[in-house]
Amino acid sequence: MSDKQPPRYTRGENEPEYTDISSYSSTQEDRSISSYSGNRPEPSAISPREARKERRRKNKEHRRRNRQKGKKNRRIFKLVWFVMVIFLGLATAQYLLVGMNDMLAIGKQSVIVTVEIPKDAQTDEIAQILEDNGVIEEPVFFKLYSFFTKSNGYYQHGTFELKTDMDYEAIINQLQSNAARVDTVRITFPEGLNVLEVARLLEENGVCTQAQALEAAGSDELDGFDLVSAITNESERYYKLEGYLFPDTYDFYKDEDPVDALSKLVRNTDRKITDDMREQISALDMTVDEVLTLASIIEAEAADEQDMYIISSILHNRLENGVETGTAQLGCDSTIYYPYRTADQAPEGYTSTYNTYDITGLPPGPICNPSLKAIEAAITPADTDYYYFCHDADGNAYYAETSSGHQRNLERAGLA
């Protein structure tokens, strides 16, 4: 074995010095551990006090973020609210402008339209009808106007002619009166009709039912007229207004209130009996009601106008001198079945309390509605001494002063 040693490695001048790897690794591991442990301890190593502080810090941070978020949300809300207010303001202004234009009929064309308002219609229904017919454009605005002007509940029913360029006030005025109604009917009532016949004509022409008219004719609804309120024996009459419904031509509204309808006829009677006529009636020591009762019998019995004055004379003679002459009863056939015309119309076995063959003097009231000529004849009778009259089938009149003369006239007229 040789004593010669292997050559030793000599480090160059610029060659780095090698270090023991195990020593380096150990050193780096210790340094790494030392660095982590020094910056943040393990959670298990945090004390309760530090944990509370950490929670407070987090809560404070959370509240701060919420405040910032709330401020941002409030700014957004205010912006949205402002936009909405502007939008609603513009919309409201637009609606008010449209409503005001409709209310004042600004810029609307003038067209005549016919609208039908049902009986007992409410404002909602009326507004819809007006819109459907082009009279208004804003039914809600019309309803508000009607409410604030206290017009609700005062509208008439019927058929109206309205213009589309009318403002709300004009429309309401028209609908609350009959001035613009076109559903009218003209009826002529001949002289001598009784209440039953007047009521029948009203029903046939659609003004009101016969039952409604008869109820009104027997009521106190028209006592506002002095000549009606002067009636003192209402309970003895079949119909209070008999004799007060002046025969003439009248215009009525379809489905009209029966009291309103009859008031037109009563008003005409009141107008026809002038102040001069009332003075003449007073001079006869009679009332207007008595004259109308007498005139109604004259109307029913006379053949013509001349006959009216002679029959009036006969009836006046009987009223004044009936006891002395044995003619206290007027004895007129027209009163036997009142309020019916004939026995065929009356119920079987019917007896009228107006029958002048059974009662003395005038009946309780008129038996029909007399003409002005009959009223004038009742006030100014002819000057005769007659107490009897009759007519033949052709309407020829026969008069007599005595019962025997009347009997001969009956034979001549073919009545005996």
pTM across the whole model: 0.72
Query: Considering the domain boundaries, does residue 108 fall inside one?
Result: yes
Per-residue pLDDT, 89? 63
Q: Which tokens belong to 163? A: 């213009």
- Identify whether residues 294 and 401 lie together within a single domain: yes
Q: What is the pLDDT of residues 187-206, one digit of tens each?
A: 999 999 999 999 999 999 99
Place of tokens 């009662």: 359
Q: How far apart are CA 230 and CA 223, in angstroms?
A: 8
Domain closes at, from 133, 151, 182: 182
Contact status, residue 198 vs residue 369, Cβ threshold 8 Å: yes
Q: How far apart are CA 361 and CA 4, in angstroms?
A: 192
CATH of the domain at 158: 3.30.1490.480
Domain closes at, from 150, 182, 214: 182
- Identify whether residues 173 and 219 lie together within a single domain: no
- Identify whether residues 294 and 403 lie together within a single domain: yes
Q: How far apart are CA 242 and CA 233, in angstroms?
A: 13
Query: Considering the domain boundaries, does residue 64 fall inside one?
Result: no
- Identify whether residues 290 and 408 lie together within a single domain: yes
C-alpha distances in Å from residue 104, one per residue of 101, 140, 164, 167? 5, 15, 11, 5
Q: How far apart are CA 293 and CA 330, in angstroms?
A: 12
Query: Considering the domain boundaries, does residue 152 fall inside one?
Result: yes
Contact status, residue 302 vs residue 308, Cβ threshold 8 Å: yes
Question: In the predicted model, what is the mean pLDDT of the chain?
Answer: 87
Q: How many residues are listed for the chain in this entry?
A: 416
Number of compact structural domains in the chain = 3
Query: Considering the domain boundaries, does residue 213 fall inside one?
Result: yes
Per-residue pLDDT, 56? 80
Q: In terms of residue numbers, what domain contains 112?
A: 80-182
Report the 10 Å Cβ neighbour count for 242: 26
Domain closes at, from 243, 272, 301: 272
Q: How far apart are CA 138 and CA 128, in angstroms?
A: 9
- Identify whether residues 127 and 244 lie together within a single domain: no
- Identify whether residues 84 and 164 lie together within a single domain: yes
Per-residue pLDDT, 50? 81
- Identify whether residues 110 and 225 lie together within a single domain: no
- Identify whether residues 205 and 154 lie together within a single domain: no
Three-class SS of the chain: CCCCCCCCCCCCCCCCCCCCHHHHHHHHHHHHHHHHHHHCCCHHHCCHHHHHHHHHHHHHHHHHHHHHHHHHHHHHHHHHHHHHHHHHHHHHHHHHHHHHHHHCCCCCCCCEEEEEECCCCCHHHHHHHHHHCCCCCCHHHHHHHHHHCCCCCCCCCEEEEEECCCCHHHHHHHHCCCCCECCEEEEECCCCCCHHHHHHHHHHCCCCCHHHHHHHHCCCCCCCCHHHHCCCCHHHCCCCCCCCCCCCEEEEECCCCHHHHHHHHHHHHHHHCCHHHHHHHHHCCCCHHHHHHHHHHHHHHCCCHHHHHHHHHHHHHHHHHHHHHCCCCCCCHHHCCCCCCCCCCCCCCCCCCCCCCCCCCCCCCCCCCCCHHHHHHHHCCCCCCCCEEEECCCCCEEEECCHHHHHHHHHHCCCC
pLDDT in tens, the chain (416 residues): 444 455 554 455 555 454 444 444 444 444 444 444 445 555 556 788 887 777 787 777 777 777 777 676 777 766 676 667 676 666 666 666 777 888 888 988 899 999 999 999 999 999 999 999 999 999 998 999 999 999 999 999 999 999 999 999 999 999 999 888 999 999 999 999 999 999 999 999 999 999 999 999 999 999 999 999 999 999 999 999 999 999 999 999 999 999 999 999 999 999 999 999 999 999 999 999 999 999 999 999 999 999 999 999 999 999 999 999 999 999 999 999 999 999 999 999 999 999 999 999 999 999 999 999 999 999 999 999 999 999 999 999 999 999 999 999 999 999 98
- Identify whether residues 307 and 386 lie together within a single domain: yes
Per-residue pLDDT, 28? 45
